[in-house]
Amino acid sequence: MKYPEIDKYAEIDSIIHRFDPRAKIITFTLLIFSFVFVEDIRIAFASLLFAFCILLLSRIPLGFMFHRMKPGLFFVLPFLVVMPFTVAGDVMYSYHGISMTYEGLYYGGLVFVRAATSIMLALTMLGTTKMDTTMKSLHSLKIPSHFVQTLMFSYRFIFVFIDEFRSMWTSMAAKGFKLKANRHSLSIIGNIVGMILVRSYERAERVYHSMSSKGYTGESRTIVKFKMQTADYGIVVVFVGIIIIFKLYGMSLS
């Protein structure tokens, strides 16, 4: 059974894996926010290439990464398809009153490339650190505890939802149910989703009482000790330098 594990390859030894998790979160967040606001598509492609170089340095299998990127890219794909036909500008192609403009294609491509860069950087950041270590790092960075706990439980319960859904789906298939594009199938799917929500609520109550009885205080516990090394400071300087170079290059083009 396949699960959407983000940190499946977190045990690989690479320079990005060895990067201090706290510094990694800060620098990757700065990279994402600096690249997501670029306004020139040439800089956007350069930032995408830079993100791909970081991915290669992380040694995470490319097939694994691109498979995880597909849902995010599918979400922004409509911008690339719709904007060429809705943004006014110089007509590139016209057919029966429907016109495609250069400006629309430009901005659609810009949105798509920026999104691809952000998703790749975010997945590289999360994929090179164990999830419990990432949570511990967020605590160390003074991120609100409620937010960190919500994030942690949301990630862990994804696998529970998958197991519950597959169990019920197997049960329905054993009873002869076949998914079709009709009202009956939609009703069955709705019932399954409702049952998952009810079971999840009951399971959450049991987990909460169990953790409370064991003295859970809301803090993420791990044996990992954080300590910045010289190499970590070097990576931070390089990444911040890259951000400044991209910023200066963008200003020179405007």
What is the secondary structure of 102-169 as a DSSP string? HHHHHHHHHHHHHHHHHHHHHHHHHHTS-HHHHHHHHHHTT--HHHHHHHHHHHHHHHHHHHHHHHHH
Positions of the chain with pLDDT under 50: none
71-102 pLDDT per residue, tens: 888 888 888 888 888 888 788 878 777 888 88
Residue 3: alpha-carbon gap to chain centroid: 15
Global pTM exceeds 0.85:
no
The first and second tokens of residue 165, run together, are 């859904």
Entry field: residues in the chain: 254
Give the per-residue pLDDT at 7: 81
Which of left, alpha, beta for 59 (phi over 0: left; psi -120 to 50: alpha)? left
Indicate the domain borders of the chain: 21-129+227-253, 138-214
Distance CA 206, CA 189 (A): 26
Residue from 38, 63, 58 nearest 48 by CA: 38
Give the per-residue pLDDT at 187: 85
Distance CA 13, CA 35 (A): 27
The first and second tokens of residue 76, run together, are 């922004």
The first and second tokens of residue 190, run together, are 């709705």
Residue from 56, 67, 59 nearest 12 by CA: 59
